[in-house]
Structure 1
Amino acid sequence: MESTWLVLAALGVGSVIGAAFVVVFLIAERRGSSAAKVVNPTIPEGIDEMLDALETAGVVLDPSNNVLKASPGALAMGLVWDRALVHTELVSLVDQVRRTGEATTREVRLVRGPIGDTTLLLRVRAARLGPRYVMLLAEDRTEANRLDDVRRDFVANISHELKTPIASVTLLAEALDHAADDPDRVRRFAQRLTEESARLGRITNEIIELSRLQAHEAIEGAERIEIDALVRQAVDQNRVIAASKRVDIAIKAKSKAAVYGDEALLRVAVHNLIANALTYSHEGSRVGIGVYRSADGVVEIAVTDQGIGIAEADLDRVFERFYRVDQARARDTGGSGLGLAIVKHTVQNHGGDVRVWSQPGRGSTFTIRLPEAAAEPTPEPEPSPAADSRPRTPEETRK
């Protein structure tokens, strides 16, 4: 009997111990789940999909400012590295939102990436996402800001460019009125008035042309153009000016190359390069124009002068609107400062690019590069009657 009670007692103790182990296990499991949630917190439903769909930058941060999720845009901008925000300005903005609880928007300039040197202008908004998280959204305003600067510069430059010929026209009109009794002075002032009016017309036409080029990314109704003939026509348009400056023009255009595009626009582009070379050439010097075909399917039109050259600091700016290397010389020749900008946009619209090499005192070479048009297929000759060996029908014989 005593042994039976001992057995029952042992079984009871075992049950208690087993139950205790179960309780301890459940508590440990719950604590483990809680710890896992802290280590791997979950983002509110739908935020993952939203961030993946964003074209701009989006980041979700936990209470320790660890990045839980970043959109592709945020990674591309270099805002996130190793699950953390790269820039202290963004961390400061997130901390401010945590303290105040209010959404905040700010414009910041940041260096792109942890080791980059490109500056970005971002419009950043940070706001709380539930009680624990903060969402940060960033819109890249760098290009928009640059375009705003370009527009302001354009308005300022065009106002300056038009002011001179308009003032000249006004003064010449007054001079004509005062010189009404002197035929020689009237003729001289009338000639100057005609020149200034023509300059106004050129500036206006080039502004319209440049605006048209910038509004279209591709040429509509492109046709096959023989480049050698086009270059010779552009050279002929500049021969009178070259002769007046005693500048010799040498042309090498026997490439038989062709491109697809707008012939009138390309002729203006080549004409502008030649006119620019003549403008900055010394009397008695030489300008060379050559057309070449490269093995990679590119047609090159190179215009080389022996003029004043361009400083290295100015090479990246020569294709800007109204930018001039030599202001005084351009004023004397009545240039508008738009010629090279028109060249750049024309060539880009034809799928090519334009490059420049120069050394001060030695001259410059501007090269237009365009994709070459594929050779036209040669039509197969129709078979001659003699080559037709089949028997002829009576109807064909009568014909």
Structure 2
Amino acid sequence: MTLTETLLVALLAVLIVFGVFGAFLVSERQLNKVPVVEEPAVPEKVTAVLSVLRSSAVIVDEVDTVLKASAPAYALGLVRGTEILVDELQETIRQVRRDGQIREIEFVLGPPTAPPRHVQARVAPLGSRLILALVEDRTRERRVEAIRRDFVANVSHELKTPVGAIRLLAEAVGDARDDPEAVKRFAGRMVTESDRLTDLVQQIIELSRLQSDDPWAEPEQLELDEIIETAIDTVAIDAAARNTEVLATGDKGIVIPGGREQVTVAISNLVANAVNYSRDSTAVLIDVRR
């Protein structure tokens, strides 16, 4: 073997040794390398909490991209894809991002052709880069408040009539103290107005119980035909005075569970209002459908 060949063989051996050593080092680094786990955009614990909330929940990042939204948020029309559709909510999120202060707002959702939905939103920072918005649908509460206001106004109007009549009759009795026949007549009217006032107060009590009591505590099987017949009999005198005919149509033999007094008062109140606030010489129809 010549000197040149010997040198080539030695060089090749050195290259092989360095190659094996380099491969060993690379393999060792790969074995000792800690895998990099990408952090989720929304923490898992936060996602778990949002999944059990009744509120509509929306989480956005620093550029207003929706990272997480609950099903109610999509149902309300707050979110589509990764975008927030409500300008008021988006502007509030930006304000919270600027100063980190928790804010609450109320706004109305829904197209002009549909009934409006009143919602309340609470927006707060979630960590250093995320914003959380919780939205509650308050439409039912607003409707109940409106019904309660109307009920109070109607009751106040209904109570003024017998109270005012009793006061006038009392003054008339005082002026006619020397006329026994007049006193007797006015006293009879006072009894009538007192009974009317008592009936109104009793209706108020029963309607209040209808809102507060639990009719399912001891439910009865109620025949609607019987309850409607009672309601018609209750308004018979007032209907005859106004030349109003009260008719019952629809399905017969319907039985429902509930509280007898409460259901009777509720239906009788509806029928009485229909008679009192309809024009004279008309008809009031009670239509029952299963």
TM-score where L is the length of structure 2: 0.71
Q: Give the superposition deviation at 1:207.
A: 0.9
AA aligned to 1:154 is F
State the match for 1:53 in structure 2: 52
Distance, in Å, in 2 between the alignment partners of 1:80 and 1:41 is 21
Distance, in Å, in 2 between the alignment partners of 1:62 and 1:203 is 58
Distance, in Å, in 2 between the alignment partners of 1:150 and 1:277 is 17
Alignment of 1:51-130 (within 5 A): 51-100=50-99, 102-112=100-110, 118-127=116-125, 129-130=126-127
Q: Give the superposition deviation at 1:156.
A: 3.8
1:120–1:167 distance in 2 versus 1, CA, 3 Å: same
Aligned with residue 185 of structure 2, among 175, 185, 188: 188
Contact 2:162 2:193 in 1 (8 A): yes
AA aligned to 2:101 is A
State the match for 2:33 in structure 1: none
Contact 1:232 1:253 in 2 (8 A): no
AA aligned to 2:90 is V
Unaligned runs of 5+ in 2: 31-35
State the match for 1:259 in structure 2: 255
Q: Give the superposition deviation at 1:263.
A: 5.6
1:53–1:131 distance in 2 versus 1, CA, 3 Å: same
Contact 2:118 2:138 in 1 (8 A): yes
1:134–1:7 distance in 2 versus 1, CA, 3 Å: farther
State the match for 2:201 in structure 1: 204
Counterpart secondary structure, 1:46: helix
Any idea what the Cα deviations from partners look like across 1:195-249, whole Å, max 9, x if unmatched?
3222211211111121222234645555556666666666556665666666677
Counterpart secondary structure, 1:203: helix
Aligned with residue 148 of structure 2, among 141, 151, 154: 151
Contact 1:106 1:124 in 2 (8 A): yes
Contact 1:57 1:71 in 2 (8 A): yes
Contact 2:59 2:130 in 1 (8 A): yes
Contact 2:60 2:130 in 1 (8 A): yes
Unaligned runs of 5+ in 1: 27-32, 284-306, 308-362, 371-399
AA aligned to 1:111 is L
1:225–1:142 distance in 2 versus 1, CA, 3 Å: closer
Contact 2:56 2:73 in 1 (8 A): yes
Contact 2:249 2:286 in 1 (8 A): no
Distance, in Å, in 2 between the alignment partners of 1:238 and 1:54 is 48
Asked if 1:369 corresponds to 2:289, the answer is yes
Q: Give the superposition deviation at 1:180.
A: 0.8
AA aligned to 1:107 is I
State the match for 1:164 in structure 2: 161
AA aligned to 2:48 is E
State the match for 1:295 in structure 2: none
AA aligned to 2:103 is T
Any idea what the Cα deviations from partners look like across 1:127-154, whole Å, max 9, x if unmatched?
2x22222222223333333333433443
Distance, in Å, in 2 between the alignment partners of 1:234 and 1:130 is 61
Distance, in Å, in 2 between the alignment partners of 1:110 and 1:277 is 32
Contact 1:234 1:270 in 2 (8 A): yes
How many pairs align? 270
Q: Alignment identity in percent?
A: 35
Contact 2:206 2:265 in 1 (8 A): no
Contact 2:249 2:285 in 1 (8 A): no
Distance, in Å, in 2 between the alignment partners of 1:209 and 1:183 is 39
Any idea what the Cα deviations from partners look like across 1:7-56, whole Å, max 9, x if unmatched?
948959x96xx99xx8xxx9xxxxxx8xx95xx85323411111111111
AA aligned to 2:170 is A
Q: Which has the higher helix share?
A: 2
1:178–1:103 distance in 2 versus 1, CA, 3 Å: same
Counterpart secondary structure, 2:136: strand
Contact 1:121 1:140 in 2 (8 A): yes
Any idea what the Cα deviations from partners look like across 1:171-215, whole Å, max 9, x if unmatched?
321221122112233233223322322221121111112122223
Contact 1:120 1:141 in 2 (8 A): yes
Counterpart secondary structure, 1:60: strand
Q: Give the superposition deviation at 1:268.
A: 5.6
Distance, in Å, in 2 between the alignment partners of 1:154 and 1:245 is 24
CA RMSD, Structure 1 to Structure 2 (Å): 4.2
Asked if 1:132 corresponds to 2:120, the answer is no
Contact 1:108 1:124 in 2 (8 A): no
Counterpart secondary structure, 1:367: strand
TM-score where L is the length of structure 1: 0.54
AA aligned to 2:116 is T
